[in-house]
Amino acid sequence: MYSKNLTPEQKRRRVVLKRVNLDRTGIRANFLQAGTIAQGAAETGLVEAYMCRKIALHPQVKKHVAAYKGSFTADASVGGFTKGTQWLVWDFESDSTLADACDGMGVGVRGWCVVWMC
C-alpha cells in the first residue's frame, strides 16, 4: 500500500522496523559490563539498541533523530517475523536516509557525516 493511500490513522501509526541479524558468535555474558568492542552481528545489534536508548534520553540530540520506541523479540513466526529474532522500532518520520541528511549538511565527502555526542 502506498503512503498516499493511507488513512490519517494509518499514517500516524507507521513505524520503522529493523531486524537485528543473528550469527553464530552470539552475545558474551559480560559484553556490556566489560566495555569491549562488539563482536558479530548479535552484539552489534545490542549496542545499537543501547545507543538508541541513550540518544532518546539526550535532550539536544533526540530532537534530530526519529523517536526510538524500543525493541522486541518475536515470540512466534508470523508474517515477516521469525521466532527468536530481535527487532528495533522507531517512529516513521520520512523516507529520508542518513545519506540524505549528510548530503544536506554540506559535508565534503558524499554520504559521510560526523555526529558529536556528549
68-87 pLDDT, tens digit per residue, is 999 998 999 988 898 988 89
**pLDDT at position 105, please?**
53
pLDDT of residue 75: 92
For CA atoms 7, 92, 49, 55, give the dihedral sign: negative
| Domain assignment present for 101 | no
- Which pairs from 21-28 meet CB under 8 Å and 24+ separation? 21/45, 22/84, 22/85, 22/86
Residue 26 lies in a domain: yes
What is the tally of structural domains in the chain? 1
The answer to whether residue 89 scores a pLDDT higher than 90 is yes
Pairing of strands 68-73, 86-91: antiparallel
pLDDT score of 114 more than 60? no
Examine residue 28 and state whether it is found in any structural domain, yes or no.
yes
pLDDT of the residue at 76: 92
Residue 31: domain span: 3-93
- 48 part of a folded domain: yes
Residue 81 within a domain: yes
List pLDDT tens digits, range 25-60.
878 887 777 777 888 888 888 888 988 999 889 888
Residue 60 lies in a domain: yes
